[in-house]
Every structure is written in C-alpha cells, then in structure tokens.
C-alpha cells in the first residue's frame, strides 16, 4: 500500500498498539492503517520506529513498564483533532521465557508479569477515559497458553491466564459503559519472538543446578524441539493482524477470537476434556521431541 492510498481513505479514528516493533504488533499496526485508522504504535527502539512510520502510523517509544512512558499516553488524546477519536487499544506487548516452575528465579517471574499483565493494566488505566468518551474497545492479545498451560510454559501461561481473567472482569465492568473488551488468542504464529523464546529458554536452562538439569534437562530440550518444529507451520503474522482488525471493527465482536486451527482445537478440547485426559494428550504430543540423552 502506498502513502497516497493511505491519504485517500476517510479517517476512522485512532488505535493504539503496544509491542509494535515486530511480529504481530507490527502487522496489526499496518493492517489497521490500511483500513484507514491513525495508528499510534508503541516500539522500543528508534530503528523500529523508522521501519514502521507512514502517514497513518505514528510510532512512539513506549516501554509499558516505565511510568514516564505511560504518562505520555493520555495527553495524546486531550484533543482529538490531531489523532482522531481513540477507537481501540490493542494490548499486544509480551515477553516469554519457558522454564520449569522450580528453576525460574522469582525476578524473572516478576519481569514477565510486569510486561505481560501489569504493563497492560497501566496502559488501559491511562487510556480508559478516552475510550469511554468514544465508546471504544480494549483488545487484549492473549495466547492459547492463556487457556492451556503446557509443561515448562508455566511462567508465560500464568501471565496469560491472568490476562484472560482480567479481560473477563474488565468486560463486565465496562459493558454498561459502552466499552467492549475482546481477547485474541493466537496459536503458533511465525514471528521473530519464536526464535527469541528458544534462545532465552536455553540461556535459562544453562543456569540450572546439576540436580535441576537431571530433573528437567530432557524436558527443556523437548519443549524447544517441539516449538522449533511448529514454527515453519505457524500462521503468518498477517493472519493474526486480520483477526485483530476484525476485533476492532466488527459491529458485534465476539468476546474471544482464536488465530490458527491449533488454537481453536486446543481451546475447544480444554473445555470438554477431563484434566487427566488433556495431560496425557499433551504428554503424547511432546514425547517424540525428547532426546535419547540429555545435553542440557
């Protein structure tokens, strides 16, 4: 899409997207701009801003764990004449390290919660007055890991389960006030984050004690091998971006959308299968990825 085609579209208002440096966030920013929105895209680095900027995409440096960064958001909508009315907030920023519950230091647990949960709460609190004025929407990007917690995904899944609960409560609080809250649950999506997660998981595994390595070394290798095997078959980021755009624009949005057949299947199974049956199914899927000997 050219800049001139962006200019020719009638403005649809503004959408804020966090975690827009790469992956799903960047794709969502571009898709929403293509549909005529002015997009304020939160990024972490100047080079990411330069890569994303167009007539319809306005990047800002935004670390959602930094109070000073959060404080800059509300003033952007003190006067809607520049950006247009705030129609939606897409809470997308996230980090992930996979590790057994026993082995991940508490500081790393807290860091994941700061980004994946508390940062979203801070951004939502800052922008809710503008969303309430405009009957806007909050779109929370969760994960299939927000419905099913696989082994070694406990820290990440815990943040996403919490985000799902937060979304349910927020939806029920804001529905009478005209603001809709929607959750998007991607499954396997081909993003730069996938490779970073494997690298971070390996780094964390290297810090385990010898006893922990004996207990969990083969599990970590299997989890990483399974993740690597799924990357080539993951959905393209543009598919996730279109689902997010649907959540923003649908006249009567669902409370939850999945991205990819794997997410749809797992979320359905999680609702109907007994826990032990689901445990066995997940263990069966992981079994082929175990090494014969541990090298962790």
Q: What are the catalytic residues?
A: 156
DSSP state of 115: I
The helix or strand, by DSSP H or E, that contains position 60, with its residue range, turns out to be strand 57-61
Query: Cα–Cα distance between 119 and 97 in angstroms, integer?
Result: 17
223 by DSSP, 3-state: which? helix
Ramachandran sector of residue 255 (left: φ over 0; alpha: ψ -120 to 50; beta: rest): alpha
Closest CA to 289 of 198, 232, 205, 227: 227
The pair of three-digit structure tokens given for residue 143, joined into one six-digit string: 């994960």
> 110: Cβ–Cβ under 8 A, 6 or more apart, which residues?
none
Q: Which residues of 72-212 form beta strands (DSSP E)?
A: 86-91, 137-141, 180-186
Query: Cα–Cα distance between 144 and 187 in angstroms, integer?
Result: 5
Closest CA to 129 of 93, 91, 179: 179
- CA–CA distances in Å: residue 186 to residues 146, 147, 198, 200, 218: 10, 11, 18, 21, 27
Q: Are 151 and 223 in contact (CB under 8 A)?
A: yes
Query: Cα–Cα distance between 157 and 11 in angstroms, integer?
Result: 37
Query: Cα–Cα distance between 234 and 165 in angstroms, integer?
Result: 26
Query: Cα–Cα distance between 265 and 97 in angstroms, integer?
Result: 24
The pair of three-digit structure tokens given for residue 262, joined into one six-digit string: 């794997």
């Amino acid at each position: 899409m050219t800049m001139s085609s962006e200019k020719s579209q009638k403005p649809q208002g503004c959408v804020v997207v966090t975690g827009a440096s790469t992956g799903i966030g960047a794709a969502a920013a571009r898709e929403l701009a293509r549909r005529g929105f002015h997009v304020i895209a939160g990024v972490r680095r100047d080079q990411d801003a330069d890569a994303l900027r167009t007539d319809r995409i306005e990047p800002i440096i935004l670390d959602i764990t930094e109070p000073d960064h959060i404080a800059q958001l509300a003033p952007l909508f003190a006067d809607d004449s520049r950006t247009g009315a705030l129609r939606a907030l897409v809470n997308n920023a996230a980090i992930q390290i996979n590790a057994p519950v026993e082995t991940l230091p508490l500081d790393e647990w807290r860091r994941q919660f700061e980004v994946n949960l508390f940062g979203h709460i801070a951004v939502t609190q800052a922008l809710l007055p503008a969303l309430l004025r405009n009957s806007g929407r909050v779109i929370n990007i969760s994960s299939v890991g927000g419905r099913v917690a696989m082994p070694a995904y406990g820290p990440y899944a815990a943040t996403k389960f919490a985000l799902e609960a937060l979304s349910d409560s927020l939806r029920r609080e804001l529905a009478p006030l005209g603001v809709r809250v929607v959750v998007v649950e991607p499954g396997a999506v081909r993003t730069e984050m996938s490779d970073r997660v494997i690298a971070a998981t390996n780094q964390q595994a290297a810090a385990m004690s010898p006893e922990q390595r004996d207990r969990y070394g083969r599990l970590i290798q299997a989890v990483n091998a399974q993740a690597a095997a799924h990357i080539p078959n993951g959905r393209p980021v543009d598919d996730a971006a279109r689902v997010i755009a649907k959540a923003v624009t649908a006249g009567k949005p669902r409370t939850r959308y999945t991205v990819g057949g794997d997410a749809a299947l797992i979320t359905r199974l999680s609702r109907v299968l007994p826990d032990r049956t689901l445990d066995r199914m997940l263990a069966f899927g992981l079994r082929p990825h175990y090494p014969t000997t541990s090298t962790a």
